Amino acid sequence: MRVQIAAANWKMNLTVREAEKLLEVLLGESYELTENQKVVFAVPAPYLTIAEEKIAKHSQMFIAAQNVYSKKSGAYTGEVSVTMLQSIGVDHVIIGHSERREYFGETDELIAGKVNICLETNITSIFCCGEALPVREVNQQNSYVSHQLEESLFYLPAEQIVKVVIAYEPIWAIGTGKTASSEQVQEMHAFIRSQIEKRYGIEEAQSISILYGGSVKAANAKEIFSQPDVDGGLVGGASLIAEEFIAIIKALKV
């Protein structure tokens, strides 16, 4: 059974006090998570340690960084390394988010380097892929996403690719309130899984969690998550509102 994941991506939001308050409210709720479900909070880098401490007693909750560099240490001013994340107990990281690709010029090659270094240090990558609107408008989304997977993931051996979580985030649905329809989501998730199967085999394809991201909220989470190839969500805006994210966690498949 694939792990079902509700992942919050807070992006560059909240002060430390607001972040603490939000976590307190979220952790104060009772979820009855099954062994197959997990919750991940991708918090801004300055709050990683505080967030780690807060979730320490929650066995199915994890803290993620929103980015990491592809080198372990050295003269890379402003960057954060996997070694640093590991030293504070952070075991997940979002890699290749479309905002990093677009605003910070991250290439498929750099992203592949980040996936590699995470695998070396046993940090779980949440690898993001997804097309922009002009690509969808000409119905090229499958080949676009397939290319992203080829360039940054599909060189991995089978025993490594199964450690990666994939997040399909169509750029036109991020922060726009325009969610992809559950049919569009299922279609792409099934396509991604079929590509993994073609490359690696059915066992690998069936063991990788594929999350959907793009305007997920309490009102649509249940329907999206109930699609057969959707294993939860990577949530931006709605993860900053406690009652929204609580409902999203509760909408996970068991």
Q: Using CB under 6 A, list all residues that contact ligand 13P.
A: 9, 97, 169, 174-175, 213-216, 234-238
Identify residue 138 by its one-letter amino acid code. Answer: V
Catalytic residue among 99, 106, 169, 244: 169
Identify residue 244 by its one-letter amino acid code. Answer: E
d(CA 47, CA 53) in angstroms, rounded, equals 10
Phi, psi for 79 (deg, rounded to 5): -95, 165
Q: Which of 148, 154, 153 is nearest to 107 (CA)?
A: 148
- Beta partners for 232? 5
From the CB of 55, what's the least distance to ligand 13P, in Å?
19
Closer by beta carbon to ligand 13P, 126 or else 205: 126
Decide if 169 is catalytic. yes
From the CB of 95, what's the least distance to ligand 13P, in Å?
11
From the CB of 201, what's the least distance to ligand 13P, in Å?
29
Closer by beta carbon to ligand 13P, 13 or else 160: 13
Closer by beta carbon to ligand 13P, 193 or else 213: 213
d(CA 214, CA 233) in angstroms, rounded, equals 9
Decide if 99 is catalytic. no
C-beta nearest to ligand 13P: residue: 236
Instruction: Say if residues 2 and 206 touch (Cβ distance below 8 Å).
Output: yes
Catalytic residue numbers, as ranges: 97, 169
